[in-house]
Chain A
Amino acid sequence: MTAEIFGRETGLGHGRGGHMHLFDPSTHFSCSGIIAEGFPPALGQAFAFQRQDSARVAVAVTGEGAANQGAFHESLNLAALWQLPVVFVVEDNDWGISVPRSASTSVASNADRAAAYGMPGVRVEDNSVEAVHAAAGEAIARARSGGGPTLIEVHTLRLWGHFEGDAEGYRPDLASVPERDPIPIYRDRLLETGALNDAQYQEMQKSAAERVEDAIDFAKGSPTPDPLDHLSYVFSEGVNS
């Protein structure tokens, strides 16, 4: 994945996709650069899992800004109608680039919109790992047992600008953001309860940092695609005519 983001031949898409278009068939992972338009293909993956009698469940993730797109609503209706094993997750970070949620969305909670499609809707307010885990577990179990889709909205926060270099002049509450980062909050909780000791935490942090560094080193050390090969992969049988 890192190599793909760096545009290298060793990347997931041999440098053809890039950071917004990552596909990893080994994990059934895919993404779309178009807001809410990743939802319809997720229905198809859920449909295939259902037809294949697989225990797999499709999980489609988007932001709260996408919940005002037509494809979002079409997808919720069809998933509920056909009782597809899919979990829809909306990450509500209060901002669609520079537009606050209050200026984009007519309802206080997108989870309320689930009722319009006859599916359960859950809003997780506290942005905690445990609450998200619990809501997701329930939704996945429901999907797996034939109970159809669930819509989960998680109220979270945007830790950084929408893009690298976003000065965020439109956002007055930046100073309070780091304290609400769920990862250090959960770390502290694990340390307090003794579920994790400091040595273990240091080891986890070191190992994660090394993994990231290794990925970046691999990407930087990988070859770039051959410019003469720019016609490959349009079609499955080879170079586009």
Chain B
Amino acid sequence: MTATLPANKHSLALVVEPDAGKRKLSTAKAMQEAISQRMVRDESVFVMGEDVGSYGGIFSSTTGLLDRFGPERVRDTPISESAFIGLGIGAAVEGMRPIVELMFADFFGVCMDQIYNHMAKIHYESGGNVRVPMVLMMAAGGGYGDGAQHSQCLWGTFAHLPGMKVVVPSNPYDAKGLMSAAIDCDDPVVFVFHKGVMGLGWMVKNDRSIGAVPEEEYVVPIGKARVAREGTDVTIVTLSLAVHHSLDVAEKLESEGISVEVIDLRSLVPLDREAIVRSVSKTGRLVVVDEDYQSFGLSGEVIAVVAEHDPSLLKRVSRVCVPDVPIPYARELEYAVLPTPGRIEAAVRNAVAT
């Protein structure tokens, strides 16, 4: 316990995107390491949520933290999302830096008022006088037969509502750097991790969910997209697990002479509009791949960014998203709606066909 807690103890500037080095971690372990390193540095950082203690987070976002930091700073909560997310907000207002886990993004329905009317608006309503430095992390995404209420991405919904940063890492390196940046951020950050990028033994996963991560503390700045692969014929703008699929498709099509550029957005808010325009200016062909619902969301927003900048840049444009249907349960149906490598490949082939 400390008598007083300074508003922000993160005066030590961290290295920005250092070399990855050789040590490999899963995305889950990279997130745990970021949280752990920030907790060592700053007493005001604490973790709270359902099953974040001895279970270590249903998708392993908090494994090992209870043993290291104890139950005062790593707290299991009752199944009362409004109460404990609101508790995080109030603690943040008083200068703490809570990391609150909403077990599934799908569960926002029971606590959205705290998220969009309180967490996201207090800074604005107070005219900048009250800050809410809080991380709200949550698991998202499908592909493992969990049905319509446990498989959604929904990041576009949070991004639509002003006042929250929305971060969606695709790999271990970014997950550590973005989590560190999120904890340091003086604004509320919604940190959405797809279950399929965590590198869990029991989950469908891509080899890219395990990768090189520096041991030192560092940040990946929030709001800066990454060119995951350079190319000249088609731009894929995507995020999260779909980055893995898109890179797989790009590697496959390279042998046929189709050069695909893959942009990993890394965050929806802020959206790196310059990175999108820069790439499409080069390729003229845009495929947006998003595991969120298609209509009224991120994919349309990305296309609008280009169209508002210069519609003549777009020779071809298409989307690979979840059509506007609840995520089905049966595997055959579920994989018919997810943005699979097969659907992405077809979209890229179509884009370069004319």
A interface with B by C-beta (< 8 Å) = 11-18, 21, 23, 25, 28, 30, 32-34, 37, 39-49, 51-53, 58, 70-71, 74-75, 77-78, 81, 232-237, 240-241
Contacts and interface: CB of A to CB of B under 8 A. Distances in A.
B354 interface: no
A53 B127 contact: no
Interface in B90-142: 90-96, 98, 110, 113-114, 117-118, 121-131
A75 B88 CA distance: 12
B77 interface: yes
Given A23-B129, A53-B1, A71 B113 contact: yes
Contacts of A241: 223, 270
A45 B93 contact: yes
A1 B125 CA distance: 13
A77 B123 contact: no
Given A43-B83, A71-B86, A48 B126 contact: no
Nearest to B90: A44
A144 to B, nearest CB: 16
A110 B43 CA distance: 38
A74 B79 CA distance: 9
B90 A43 contact: yes
Contacts of B83: 39-40, 43, 71, 74-75, 77-78
Given A23-B129, A52-B3, A40 B91 contact: no
Given A53-B1, A74-B80, A235-B187, A40 B124 contact: no
Interface in B48-107: 72, 77-78, 80, 82-96, 98
B120 to A, nearest CB: 9
Interface residues of B, number: 48
A49 B91 CA distance: 9
Contacts of B89: 40-41, 44
B186 interface: yes
Question: A21, A23, A51, A58 — which one has the most chain B CB atoms within 10 A of its CB?
Answer: A51
B196 interface: no
B91 to A, nearest CB: 4
A23 B113 contact: no
18 contacts: A21-B126, A30-B130, A34-B117, A37-B82, A37-B113, A43-B86, A43-B90, A44-B86, A44-B87, A44-B92, A48-B94, A74-B78, A77-B80, A78-B84, A232-B128, A233-B127, A235-B165, A237-B187
B78 A81 contact: yes
Nearest to A76: B83
Contact of A40 (B2, B86, B123, B130): B86
Contacts of A21: 121, 125-126
Question: B80, B95, B126, B130 — which one has the most chain A CB atoms within 10 A of its CB?
Answer: B126
Question: B2, B95, B129 — which one has the most chain A CB atoms within 10 A of its CB?
Answer: B129
A70 B86 CA distance: 13
B20 interface: no
B163 interface: yes
A236 B98 CA distance: 17
A57 to B, nearest CB: 13
A43 B90 CA distance: 7
